[in-house]
Structure 1
Amino acid sequence: MSRKLEVILILVGMAAHIVLYLSDFSYNMIDANYPEQSNELGRGINVILIVVSVTIINVIVGAVSLLLFRKNKRPKAASAILLIFAMITTILTYGSSFLANIFYLIAGVMGVVRGSKTHKTPL
């Protein structure tokens, strides 16, 4: 069974994570340059660190699941990884990466539903 659609969805999800990272990073850098209080600067740095770490983890998870989907090696494991990390990172980023995680969720659900071909051996 061809897994082209899942691979494309994972690639789009990885690209969306990077684009969201760049847009959020630039927004926070502009906001951090003009702090009204020292607490806001510290909060901005913490947000940037969370966004950077979540983005890096998501891209790595996307690459691992991409390798597992290619040539139909382990589609169930890749689907489970995608579903778990999409939900965890959506919670960690307070929903700001939901748009990017939707591609991981769709690819994970498709991988679970489509399953893999099993050949029945005659007795």
Structure 2
Amino acid sequence: MGIQPQLSVRRGRAAVEFYRQAFGAIEVYRVGGTDENPEVVSQLRIGEDLFWVSDESPEHENFSPESIGGGTVRMLLIVADPDTSVAQAVAAGAAEVAQVTDEHGWRLGRVRDPFGHHWEIGKPLVEWPPHLH
């Protein structure tokens, strides 16, 4: 059991390549994404976590952030070095939304990928999750 997000994008093949360059994602499964069948459905892995990327399909009510003017979900990428990871994402084509800073027990920054999805990139600075009383 578990949850694996699926990101709808325009230009799916380019998105897969961006996630490789920006976050070191490894593609573990793919359908399509060829010149003959350009639409792609791809499963990617970052560390031990999996997520999917697919071309949007409005006919199935799957829209990219570019189609709806923004997204409804933020991805949280937990890394050892948020500063370097944000810089790598920006170098790969992401736009910085918020600089990496320390707040609320995290070192955290945010980027918007070229496909409209927001990624918070950070690490906890305290034992996480905190003990709730």
TM-score, normalization by structure 1:
0.29
The structure richer in helix per residue is 1
Larger Rg: 1
TM-score, normalization by structure 2:
0.27
Greater length-normalized contact order (CA 8 Å, ≥ 6 residues apart): 1
The structure richer in strand per residue is 2
